[in-house]
Amino acid sequence: MFSLLSLRGPLARLTLAVAAFGLATGASAETPPTVIHIGVATPKTGNPPAFTVGPIGVAYTRGLIEEEFKKDNVKIDWVFFRGAGPAVNEALTNKQLDFAFQGDLPSLVGKAGGLNTRLIALSGTRQHVYLAVPPDSPIKSVKDLKGKRVGFSIGTNIQTPINRILAANGLTERDIRVVNLSVEGIAPALTSRSIDAVFSWVQILPLKDKGLARIVFSDHDNAAFACNSGVLVTDDFARKYPQTTTRLLKAILPANRWLADPANTNAAISLAARMGFPEKTLHEDQDGEDVLLQSSPLLTDYALSLYQGVADDAYRLKLARARVDVKQWADSSFLAAALQQSQLTGFWPALDNSGRKLAAK
């Protein structure tokens, strides 16, 4: 009896690609599972708690995935992890998730450690990294961090950009005194001066606005230092439910499309502010961004090269057990089918390895 599970290598990928295109080509629809388990590598925040940032936040808030599977009576089980990427990997190890929205480093560490996942789309790009210190700190630049207590969330997708930032300034993690902090613990640690400096994301900017922190570095001028995140699916789920995998990505695409329109930027920032961020802070974080590129779900050559850089750094820094070949791990077939079904093929530009836009074919 022929079985997808028995296939390996290029033939398996080709067969699954054909299956992913099934709905678009008129093939009979598969029966989806009764529950789809989705993990998000960030907790809800705000009052009331919300998750509203990026295409996944928009899709979650608007119930787009639930609407897609409503007619099939499929329950969508969302889990938001305070332990961020490492906690998502633990849940994947315990086979508690079918999909995960996760940063680049922890997803690659999980893959290197034996988690059988596939990267099937981007879920976020250009998540900016900031270095903050107390307002009266003598620290003026990254070079001044030598010997200082520096806090950040170990094992999350901020760690490899931090190592690149340190390396660009002649330092390594061994030159600083690393303090592992949760996202929630960053602000209290800095304001209580239990650390000398902190690397963080947009969450640190409100402290600056209140005069409780000073930003001495940001990555706005260098995309190589920014964080990226993606959509993962377990290999078991993708093999058993290829059409359902495509449908889930298709359900998210209206959120990507909405964020791609500059006319919606202010509304998107107001939505993101529900997580407790001042709108002024979010405008500052977004300043100068190309929303078309930022909203793209495409696994372009550039996106894959950034992921490969993280994979190589993670192995070199002994954060991962093995070096992951990102091109073998990534699978664009489901996204290609979802884009075709949504009539969005070609909407987002393809980028070469250096980030330059390729001419449309």
CA dist 94 and 12 (Å) reads: 25
98 plus 241 within the same structural domain: yes
59 plus 173 within the same structural domain: no
CATH number at residue 247: 3.40.190.10
Q: Is residue 41 part of a domain?
A: yes
Q: Is residue 360 part of a domain?
A: no
Structural domain that includes position 214: 130-225
Confidence tier at 27 by pLDDT (50, 70, 90)? low
CA dist 258 and 265 (Å) reads: 9
Per cent of the chain over pLDDT 70 is 91
Confidence tier at 150 by pLDDT (50, 70, 90)? very high
233 plus 336 within the same structural domain: yes
Confidence tier at 221 by pLDDT (50, 70, 90)? low
235 plus 334 within the same structural domain: yes
Q: Is residue 350 part of a domain?
A: no
Judge whether residue 281 has pLDDT over 50: yes
152 plus 177 within the same structural domain: yes
Q: Per-residue pLDDT tens for 74-103?
A: 999 999 998 888 899 999 999 999 999 999
177 plus 258 within the same structural domain: no
Judge whether residue 10 has pLDDT over 60: no
Instruction: Please give the residue that has the higher pLDDT: either 7 or 301.
Output: 301
114 plus 235 within the same structural domain: yes
Instruction: Classify the phi-psi angles of 195: left when phi > 0, otherwise alpha if psi is within -120 to 50, otherwise beta.
Output: beta
Mean pLDDT value across residues 176-181: 92
Confidence tier at 223 by pLDDT (50, 70, 90)? low
Judge whether residue 18 has pLDDT over 60: no
Are the CB atoms for 335 and 121 separated by under 8 Å? yes
90 plus 136 within the same structural domain: no
Q: Per-residue pLDDT tens for 249-276?
A: 999 999 999 999 999 999 999 999 999 8
With vertex at residue 252, the alpha carbon angle to CA 307 and CA 129, rounded to the nearest 5 degrees, is 40
In this predicted structure, what is the pLDDT of residue 41?
A: 93
Are the CB atoms for 120 and 244 separated by under 8 Å? no
Q: Is residue 301 part of a domain?
A: yes
pTM for the whole structure:
0.82
Question: Considering its fold, how many domains does the chain have in total?
Answer: 2
